[in-house]
Structure 1
Amino acid sequence: MRFKHLRELHAICTEENKTLGTLMIEEQVKETGTSETEVVQQMADYYEIMKQAVHKGMTEDTTSRSGLTGGDGQRVRDYLQNNQSCSGDASALAMAYALGVSEVNASMGRIVATPTAGSAGIIPGVFLSAQERFGWSDEHMVNGLFCAGAIGYVIANNSFISGAEGGCQAEVGSAIGMAAGAMVELRGGTPEQVVHAVGIALKNTLGLICDPVAGLVEIPCIVRNGLGAVTALAAADMALAGVRSAIPSDEVIDVMLEVGSAMPSRHRETAQGGLAQTPTGRKIAENLAKPKKTTQDREVSSKENNQ
């Protein structure tokens, strides 16, 4: 890749009058040695999977195997259809879709890790809701995914995208930054505005711990995806309005690395701290650890009680 940092992305795109998405397509062609048609088609296939995940999250039973989660995306969607949203229709729909995709993931459905399975709802939530709102083509959305990919590439190579390494700021935070920057580009913003959106978004998630209850990517992960989609839209709006990240976005990414490295291990996906170790969190884990009775066990127990 010709870039390692966001400032380099900005400089190249500005000098060559390209979008981040266009530049990323060119770089992917060089890196993979395949044609542009093949590179773009692969991303189009990923977007189709995202659309399928959103549809499944809105129309099918997404109850997880643990029974802890499922159906919240549909609840928010139904609420939006029957009530005036506090956060606005655009935000509420993005939130509903993000929740739905995350619930598809928790129920062992097919998703695209963007950048991880634990943060897989944010980009589809933002992208699909925006496409419906603005009437954008799939081709336009695919170009946006390449922009998000370029941002994710920079974050991954200078900080973390794994909750086990850097906490939830690395997973949900990175996805929010990727979605925010891509949304700016989809709306016609400049490369400079894209980069500012990333910094604005990431600053809001610095220090976010990874504390999955019972070690499952369900609580609080799914809700964080829903709220992350809303944060991405807010960061994009700020950048498009001319708000700048006073701390350069590359420096914000460096801080993510610093904070994640200093984070105690119990707050990095081990389920040994945070919400996972609240009284309720421990009780949930204990209940899930109990052996579940089979139909045969229940029949035997019933016979014993009758005797």
Structure 2
Amino acid sequence: MRFKNLRELVELCGRESQTISGIMIQDQAAESGQSEAEILAAMNEYYQIMKSAVHKGLTEDIVSTSGLTGGDAKRVEAYRGGGEASVGDIACQAMAYALAVSEVNASMGRIVATPTAGSCGIIPGVFVSSQERFGWEDEHLVRGLFSAGAIGYVIANNSFISGAEGGCQAEIGSAIGMAAGAMVELRGGTPEQAVHAVGLALKNTLGLICDPVGGLVEIPCIVRNGFGAVNALAAADMALAGVRSAIPSDEVIDVMLEVGSAMPSRHRETAQGGLAQTPTGRKIMKELRSRKK
């Protein structure tokens, strides 16, 4: 890629009068040797999987392989239908859709890791709900995925996207930042605004630990995806309104690396601390072990 950080990405967009997605598509084509049409077609297939996962989670009776989770997406979607959601219809819809994809993941269904399986619901939740709201064609959302990918590329190469390495800030946080930045572009914002959205999003997930009960990507992972979708929309709106990240987004990514590196191992996907070691968390793990025996 021709950029190593978000500052270089914005500068590149300025020099070439391109969007973030446009730069990413060009660089991906150059690196892979494929045509831009081939790359777009492949990404379109991924987007169709995302939409299918949303539909499956909302229309089928989903239960995780452990039996611990399932059905929350349908509950939130039904609640949204009553028109009483405190966060408003669009945020509640994104939340329900994000939960749907995460529940499909927990039931061993087909999903796209964005950027990981543990955070797979945030980008589909934001993208699919926004597509339905604004009436966008699939092609528009497909390009948005390249914008999200460029942001994820920078985060992955300068910090973490793995909960085992950097805590849940690396998984959920990265997905929120990717979704927020891409949403700014999808709604007509500038590359600079998109990058500010990333910083705004990441600042508010710094230090988030990874503490899956029983070591499974279910509790609290699934609900964090739901909250994450709402946070991504909020960060995008702030950036589009002109709110800027006072700390440059690249520096926020550096702090994510610092915090994740200092995080105790018990808070990095080991199920040895946090919610996993509460009395109820330990009880659930004990019951799961008994069931396996």
Partner in structure 2 of residue 51 of structure 1: 51
The aligned amino acid for 1:155 is I
Partner in structure 2 of residue 215 of structure 1: 215
Q: Normalized against structure 1, the TM-score is what?
A: 0.95
Matched, 1:194 2:191: no
The aligned amino acid for 1:134 is F
Partner in structure 1 of residue 268 of structure 2: 268
The aligned amino acid for 1:224 is R
Partner in structure 2 of residue 86 of structure 1: 86
Distance 1:159 1:179 in 2: 17
SS at match of 2:65: coil
Unmatched segments (≥5 aa) in structure 1 = 294-307
Aligned residues of 2:83 and 2:89 also touching (Cα < 8 A): no
Distance 1:69 1:37 in 2: 40
Q: CA deviation at 1:62?
A: 1.2
The list of structure 1 runs, each at least 4 consecutive aligned residues, that deviate by more than 3 angstroms after superposition, is: none
Distance 2:202 2:13 in 1: 22
Spell out, residue by residue over 1:4-54, the C-alpha distance to the aligned partner (whole angstroms, 9 max, x if none). Answer: 100001001012110000110000001101111111111000000000000
Distance 1:291 1:194 in 2: 47
Matched-pair identity in %:
77
Matched, 1:203 2:203: yes
SS at match of 1:127: helix
Kindly report which structure 2 residues correspond to 1:117-266, keeping only aligned pairs within 5 A, or say none.
117-266=117-266
The aligned amino acid for 1:236 is A
Distance 1:166 1:292 in 2: 30
Kindly report which structure 2 residues correspond to 1:96-111, keeping only aligned pairs within 5 A, or say none.
96-111=96-111
Spell out, residue by residue over 1:173-223, the C-alpha distance to the aligned partner (whole angstroms, 9 max, x if none). Answer: 000000000000000000100000000000000000000000000000000
The aligned amino acid for 1:125 is G
Distance 1:291 1:238 in 2: 47
Partner in structure 1 of residue 281 of structure 2: 281
Distance 2:208 2:249 in 1: 18
Unmatched segments (≥5 aa) in structure 2 = none
Distance 2:186 2:14 in 1: 16
SS at match of 1:50: helix
Distance 2:262 2:81 in 1: 44
SS at match of 1:55: helix
Q: CA deviation at 1:292?
A: 5.7
Larger Rg: 1
Spell out, residue by residue over 1:96-123, the C-alpha distance to the aligned partner (whole angstroms, 9 max, x if none). Answer: 0000000000000000000000000000
SS at match of 1:291: helix
Distance 2:54 2:9 in 1: 31
Residues 291 and 7 of structure 1, relative CA distance in 2, 3 Å threshold: same
Q: Normalized against structure 2, the TM-score is what?
A: 0.99
Q: CA deviation at 1:82?
A: 1.4
